[in-house]
Structure formats: structure tokens, C-alpha cells
A and B are shown apart, each in its own frame.
Chain A
Amino acid sequence: MKKRIIAIVAALAVFCAGFWFFQRLLMPKYINDIIEGRLIADYYDNAGGNDVIFIGDCECYENISPIKMWEDYGITSYIRGSAQQLIWQSYYLLEETLEYETPDVVVFNVLSMKYNEPQNEAYNRLTLDGMKWSSSKVGSIKASMTEEESFLSYVFPLLRYHARWSELSGEDWEYMFKTKRSFHQGYLMRVDVRPVTTYPSKRPLTDYQFGSTAYEYLDKITALCKEKGVELVLMKAPSISPVWYDEWEAQIEDYAAENGLKYINFLELLDEVGIDFNTDTYDNGLHLNLSGAEKMAVYFGRYLQQECGIADHRNDPEIAAVWQEKVDFYHQMEADQYRELEEYGYLKSYGGRPVTEEGK
């Protein structure tokens, strides 16, 4: 009997070890391609001690430089952003973040109010796979899953990524048990420039009303911040695409007024911020490049200090020492990106593509 139990346990152990090994191997590493897939997991190495937490989609993690905000104002901040982050994902990310720290201010980018139901499995994965297991992650998965998805495949990602066996590369082996440092407090740096040539037209919609689910989660975010004593600031980032409708703007303004929240629409402050879409975007106005993100940091940092009373920590040697290392890495990457631009004409190792390809 004892022998039999040992045999069963041994077989199960081999199965579990094999499962774990193949899962590590087959999960995407997002090292040189779609690197935003690593954004969410990056937070856990930088959690705690932030004055400001930004939550939202790519309009957050590509449009504001927390390092510049530190350099100019001594504000410590982190962007919990991810690609096409839906509002319920923002809520659960915030819920999780507030378990790690209690910032003075949370800034939420309101673009995701336009989505009222789960959208896309691939984007879900970019947000959810990186989260550590918690009740927040479970809630976020349940709220986000499309019909084709199963909860089990989040618990065991091998069930989702098994088909990657045919596209494994050296990167998958190299980064099986480690990752690469790529972000600056959740900011994804791009120094290249691709100016706006045409402004997107505002295609009329049949219904401009934000959905009830979107409002439900905005209410939850508002309530959570109140409960934790955190000031909530609503923001619309200065991306010109996708378009932001006046009808949407009115609804957010009303919501902010009704709930006593600050709301800044940076699309209306382009001149004040100094955004020039000839030089400050790397993809036709969807996202800002480093130049634009730093301008945003300068403006927003001043706003946060003046309007929200965020303190300057530059004279705190302990914090300054930690942040100095981040600043060094930031400038090191900045220099490297400029070097690549000069050498190759595009950001070869940072997700850029040759100009001819981008022009397609």
C-alpha cells in the first residue's frame, strides 16, 4: 500500500513538474515584441511609496513620464497601465494596488468608458496574465472574459498558450525564469517621431451614452478611492486617436461635477501643455513620444503639486537614492534609443519598425 501511494505521488509530482516547466516555456515572454505584455507584472518590483497612481489604457502608459515628474517636482508615481485596459480591469487593478500602498492621488484615464462589455481575448491577456493571484485578479478575469475564454485557462495558462510550441525561439528559453527591465514606473518609452499628417474624422455614432457597466465600475472606482481616503482625478489624455466625442466629454464633466472630482481633458490643453503633434508623437497622434510624455509630466506634476498638494521628496535621501537609480536607467535607455535611431533609422530593439513597414 505504501509503495502504491509513493508511486502515485511520484507520478503526480512528475506531472506537476512537467506541467509547470512547459507552462513557463510556452507562455509568451513579451521581451522584444508587444513588450507592454510585461507592464502589469512590472509593478510588483516597484510597489509601494508612490504619491500618485495612474490607471488606464495606453493613453496612460505612453503619455506621461513619471521619471520626469520626479526630476522636476519630486513626485513619486507609478502607471498601472495596460493595452486596451477596460474599466473593470482598471477597478480591479486599483483594488489590488491599494492593497500594496495608499497613494495621495489616483488618476484614471476615462477613454475606457466607451466600452461596456468584454472586448478581446488578446488584450485581456495583456492585462490579466501579469497580475498576481488575488481576489482582484479573479474578479477581473470574471468581468473580462469573452465567450470563447475559460477561467481555467487563466489558472493554467498552458491551456491557452500550448499552441506556441511551433513558434518557440531562443527568447523563450532565455527568459523562462527571468525577465528584462524595460519600463520606467510603468511608462513605456519611445523617442522616435512620426508626426500627425491627418486628423481623424469624428464618425457619428448611433448612441453616445456610456454604458451602465462602465458607469457601475466608475462608481466603484470613486467609492473605493473615497473609502481609502485617496483623491481621484479623472483625465483624458492628449491622444487624438481614437476620437473623443463632445457628448462623451459632457458626460464625464457631469459625472466629475456630481461626485466632486477633478477632471482634466488634455485635448483642450494642448497649447498650455505645449504638445506639438509634429514632434511629440511616434504614431500619428495615438500616443506621445518621450518629448510629449515629458511635457505632460511637467504640466501634470505642477498641477498635482498645486491642486492636490503632493509633496516634493527630492530632499529625502532615502527616496532620492532609490529614484536616482531609476533616473539613471531612464536616461540610459533614452540615450540607447537615440543611438538606435541614428544607427538603424528606427527603434530596432524597442518595438519600432522600419519606416517603410510602418508606412504600410
Chain B
Amino acid sequence: MLFTSYEFIAFLGGLFILYYILPKKCQWVLLLIGSAVFYAWAGLRFLAYIGITTVTTWFAAVRIGAIQATGNAFYDAHKKEMDKDARKAYKAGIKKKTRVWFLACLLLNLGILAVIKYTDFVIDNINAIFSAEISFLSFALPMGISFYTFKSMGYLIDVYRNKAEAQGNLAKFALFVSFFPQIIQGPISRYNKLSETLYAQHAFDPLQIRRGLLRIAWGFFKKLVIADRLLVAVKTLAGSPEEYQGAYVVLIILFYAIELYADFTGGIDITIGVGEIFGIQMEENFITPYFSKNINEYWTRWHITMGTWFKDYIFYPLSVSQPMLKLSKWSRDHMGKAVGKRVTVYIANIVVWFATGLWHGAAWNFIVWGMLNCVVTVASYEMEPLYKKFHAALPATNRGWYNVFQMFRTFWLMGAIRILDVYRNVPTSFKQVGSIFTTGGWGSIFSADIAKLGLTGPDYTVLFIGCVLMIAVSVVRYRQKDDIRANIEACGTVAVTAVILALVFAVLIFGAYGVGYDASQFIYNQF
């Protein structure tokens, strides 16, 4: 059930009415039923996968929680009787007991993800390297498997680390894992945060509902009016790399940057808006990423929950793990302080970016994309002293115009790396980027040839207006803590309603949907 399908609109409408008609204590149960229906819509057989992850994670977390509770109670009662070593040994014993459950559950669920998502990729590489002819297994990918697996494993790690309490109610935990607005493309919520509102009872709050509807309408606008319209041109350009080189590659970088942003943030707007109409708050996943001045800032603004997941659950634990600490010490001793301190950070970075690339898809283009991000991140880190000197020597570079230049530079740099996602082929991607410097064609993209990309003059006009609106909304968000809805709400109820209606009609009329349009999934559905 795509967010942009008629079925979803009807499903959401029905659920919304029931949510506020039924007694409040039934609300979370209704959301669980709704999530099950939403998930089953993609295929009943997929319920088994998410079911296994839900049950095993819940059970392991409950066991871990129970061991910790019993152990801690015993420890508190008897710690006075134990000396320091005994206390340490006792705590280690508890940790050991919980680690068995933790590792078993982690390996099982990451194993399911790995087998389903990456087996064919491994087979493909084995076939290529050893000229073998192993048949592909072609597993059907359960909807949102990467998202719900990461969400569940995040919860398991938090319980294991004593940062979250195990949820004793399986049904409530099932709702956390399968909460339907998030299942397709995140955000990858943390249990502690989401559970605060997910299981709470929510009264009918018109203000909150209007806010949610506004966000949903804006999400649909970005997805259907901008992203899906641009998709036509992106497909044309990406489909004939031999024909569209040079300046066209610059054009596709620009178009894809807009399309991906409108598509992904549009989906997240719908997700967050849907949560809001049910009174459930979710964290932001994007905060004006294209206004980032460098790659590090970019990754704190783009797909934030994924970035923090990798940081909290892979980067930091890896950096402070025993082998890495030993390596760090060894490096400092043998390579000097400056190099030594970098070794473990860079290794952790490489692992994280490799995993991030692989998370996006089982293909070399995603892995290379991840590693390129790693290279740029490391290069930025290495060049920091140079930047400091540069800014000190030229104080003018701390002013606004230089910030704009930095945003411009980061936008195109990230766009150029993202080209690997466009062509889905590593050599082609590099060849195409290379053609920017070897092939001209700048005249073509400013001529009537641009109409051959499947978009008409009126389409470009709609896109231009849509992009201007997106930029305006982003500028407001960049300059203030809250989003533009606060400004609209300040103008009164009529203004909010008028904006919602205007967006709805803009989507209905200018949206790229229905017969004649190639219905497209949200891009991040595939990850």
C-alpha cells in the first residue's frame, strides 16, 4: 500500500475515524491492527519475517531485562558482603548471561536481513570471480526489512546496555516494530522516544490534527508534484548514458538531488504528519540538508536517524571496543600520537560507511558510494587545520557569501557522489562524471533539447514554482527552530485551512499520478 495510493488514503481515513471514536485505551491496539493490515497488504507471507524479528527481539529483551533485574536486585542486597573483585566478577557474570541472549538475537535477525538482502549479491560476485554459475535465490524482500530490523536491534542494544527497559507486552512491542507510517522509510525511531507517545492515550486535538494534515499535504506535494514529475527526466537521462553526457550529467546531478530530496522528505513529511494526526510525535529525519556547509554537517541533517543509528550502535561501540583500544595504543606507540589517534577513528569510519553503503542496497555502487563518503569525510578532517589557517588569513570567508559558497560546494559534491545511485553502475558513474570535463553540450541543456527529456514547458514551470516553494520553506526552517507551520498557524485557523486546501488542490491537479504516469514507489522503499 503506497502512501500515494487511493487505498492508503481510504485506510488512513478509516483508521483516523475509528481512532477517535473508540475508547482511548483501545488506540494503541487499533494502531497495531492497522499496522498489521498495512503490512499484510504487501503480502501475507511477509508477516512471517517481521513476526520472527518481533517475537525473538521481544523475548530476548525480556530475558535480558529479567536477568538484569534479578542480578541487580541480588547485587544490591549482597554487595556489602562482596569485596571489589567479587562485585566485578558478579557483574561480569550478569553481563555474560545477558550477552548470550543479546548475541543470539542480534545474529539471528541480522542474519535474516543478510541472507534475504545480500545472498544474491554474494552469489553474483562469486560467479564473477570464479566464473561459476550458481543460481540466484531471488528472495522476495519483505517491506521495510532494513528499517524494522535496525529499529528492533537498536532497542535490543539499548536494553542490553541498560538504556531502555524491556517492554513486557508483546503486542505493544509489535506496534513499536511495525508502526505503519515508519515501516516504509523510517525514521528509525528509538524505543525510549517513540514509546513515550506511541502507547499514550490521545484526545482529539484540532490544532495537532491541522498541523499533521498540513505536513501530510506538503509531503504529497513534494512527492507527487515535484519528485514524480522529475522522475520522468531522470529516467530518460539515466537510461541513455551514452547519449546524455557532459552538461547533461550536471543536469542529472541537479535533477536527482531535487527528486531524491522531494521524494524522501515528502515521504517523511507524510510519516510525521500521519503520526501527528494520531497524536504521536516522531523525530525529524531531515533538517535542511542542502544548506549544509560541509559533509559532516550534511550527515547530521540528512537521514538523521540512520546516521545516529550507525554512530551510536556501530561507530562508538567499535571505537571503544577492546581490540580497537589495543590497536589505538599500539598505533600511538609505534606510529606516533598524531597518526595513532587517527587509526582507530578511520577504521571505525571505514566500517560505518561500508555498512551504510551496504544498508542502502546489495550492489557495488552503494558500497562505492559509502566509501566515497568516507574518503570525503576523512579528507575534510585532515584538511581542517588548513581551513582554519585559510579562514584566519581571510576573515572575509567567515561571512555570509562564503557560507553560501560552502553550501553550493557541498550540494554539488554530495550530488556528484550520489550519481552512483542514479546509474547504479560504478564504471558508468565515473565515466559520466568524467564526461563533464571532457564533453561539452552546455548549449543543449539551455535549448529546446531539454524538452526531449519527457517534460514539457508547463512541467518545467510547475517544477520551478515547486522548487521555489521548497527552498522558501527550507529557508524559514533554517532561520528558525520550528518549521514554517508555526508561521502559518500564527495567521489563524482560516490560513492553515486555506494552505491545506491549496496544497491538496495543487496535488490533485498538478500531481504526476494516474493513467499516463508511471506510478513510482518512494525511492527509500528500496533500501
Interface residues of A (CB under 8 A from B): 4, 7, 11, 14-15, 18-19, 22, 26, 121, 148-150, 152-153, 158-160, 162-163, 165-166
List B contacts of A11 (CB < 8 A): 497, 501
Take A4-B206, A150-B6, A165-B510 as given contacts and tell me if A15 and B493 are in contact as well, using a CB distance cutoff of 8 Å. no
Indicate whether A153 sits within 8 Å of B501 (C-beta atoms), given known contacts A4-B206, A165-B509, A166-B456.
Answer: no
CB < 8 Å neighbour of A14 from B458, B501, B516:
B501
B515: chain A residues within 8 A (beta carbon): 121, 148-149, 153, 160
- The complex places the Cα of A301 from the Cα of B433 at a distance, in Å, of 74
Nearest B residue (CB) for A161 = B514
Can you identify 23 A-B contacts, CB atoms within 8 angstroms? A11-B497, A18-B505, A19-B505, A22-B505, A22-B508, A22-B509, A26-B509, A148-B515, A150-B6, A153-B514, A153-B515, A158-B509, A159-B508, A159-B514, A160-B514, A160-B515, A162-B508, A162-B509, A162-B510, A163-B514, A163-B517, A166-B458, A166-B459
Q: Least Cβ distance of A328 to chain B in Å?
A: 41
Interface residues on chain B, size class: 10 to 19
Look across to chain A and name the residue whose beta carbon is closest to the beta carbon of B507: A162
Q: Tell me the bound Cα distance from A14 to B505 in angstroms.
A: 11
What residue of chain B has the Cβ atom nearest to residue A167's Cβ?
Answer: B458
B493-508 vs A: 1/0 string, CB under 8 Å?
A: 1000100010011001
Most chain A CB neighbours (cut-off 10 Å) among B458, B505, B513? B505
Given A18-B505, A166-B456, 20 other A-B contacts at CB below 8 A? A11-B497, A11-B501, A14-B501, A15-B504, A18-B501, A19-B505, A22-B508, A22-B509, A26-B509, A148-B515, A150-B6, A153-B514, A153-B515, A158-B508, A158-B509, A159-B514, A162-B508, A162-B511, A162-B513, A163-B517
Distance in angstroms between the alpha carbons of A148 and B518 in the assembled complex: 10
Instruction: Give CA–CA (A149, B508) in the complex, Å.
Output: 17
A162 to chain B, nearest CB (A): 5
Chain B nearest CB: distance from A125 CB in Å? 9
Binary flags per residue of B470-514, CB closer than 8 Å to A gives 1, else 0: 000000000000000000000001000100010011001111011
Dominant secondary structure at the B interface: helix
Question: Is B497 in contact with A163, judged by CB distance below 8 angstroms?
Answer: no
In the bound complex, residues from chain B placing their C-beta under 8 Å from that of A148 are 515
Chain B residue numbers with a CB within 8 Å of A150 are 6, 514
Establish whether residues A15 and B501, one from each chain, have CB atoms under 8 Å apart when the complex forms. Answer: yes
Which residue of chain B has the shortest Cβ distance to A22 in the bound complex?
B509
Residue of A nearest to B494 (CB): A7
Of B493, B509, B516, which is in contact with the most chain A CB atoms at under 10 Å from its CB? B509
| CB of A19 to closest CB in B, whole Å | 7
Candidate in A4, A14, A15, A160 with the most chain B CB atoms within 10 angstroms: A15
Closest partner residue, chain B, to A125 (CB atom): B515
Contacts of A153 in B (CB 8 A): 514-515
The reply to whether B493 and A7 form a contact with Cβ atoms under 8 Å apart is yes
CA distance A15 to B500 in the complex (A): 10
Report the minimum CB–CB distance from B421 to chain A (whole Å): 28
A290 to B206, CA, bound (A): 64
Q: Which of B254-301 contact A (CB under 8 A)?
A: none
Report the minimal beta-carbon distance from A7 to chain B, rounded to whole angstroms: 7
Q: Give the docked Cα–Cα distance between A25 and B8 (Å).
A: 27
B461's nearest neighbour on chain A, judged by CB, is A166
Alpha-carbon distance A19/B493, docked complex (angstroms): 21
- By a CB distance below 8 angstroms, the chain B residues around A14 are 501
Chain A residue contacts of B6, Cβ below 8 A: 150, 152
Interface contact A162-B504, CB-CB below 8 Å: no
Closest to B497 in A: A11
Cβ–Cβ contact B510 & A19, under 8 A: no
A153 to B516, CA, bound (A): 13
Q: How far is the CB of A335 from chain B (nearest CB, A)?
A: 40
- Chain B residues with Cβ under 8 A from A7's Cβ? 493, 497
Q: Which A residues are CB-close (under 8 A) to B497?
A: 7, 11
With A15-B501, A15-B504, A22-B505: A162-B514 Cβ-Cβ less than 8 Å: yes
Contact with A along B186-219 (1 / 0, CB 8 A): 0000000000000000000010000000000000
Closest residue on chain B to residue A26 by CB atoms: B509
Contacts of B504 in A (CB 8 A): 15
CA distance A152 to B9 in the complex (A): 12
Are B505 and A163 within 8 A (Cβ)?
no
Nearest chain B residue, comparing its CB with the CB of A162: B509
Q: When chains A and B are docked, how far (Å) is the Cα of A183 from the Cα of B288?
A: 59
Complex CA gap A357/B513 in Å reads: 33
8 Å CB contact of B508 from A4, A19, A152, A166: A19
Contacts of A22 in B (CB 8 A): 505, 508-509
The distance in angstroms between the C-alpha atoms of A133 and B524, with both chains bound, is 41
Residue on B with the closest CB to A151? Answer: B6
Alpha-carbon distance between A15 and B6 when the two chains are bound, in angstroms:
17
> Using Cβ atoms and an 8 Å threshold, which residues of chain B touch A162?
508-511, 513-514
Interface residues of B in 115-150 (CB under 8 A from A): none
Inter-chain contacts of A160 with B (CB < 8 A): 514-515
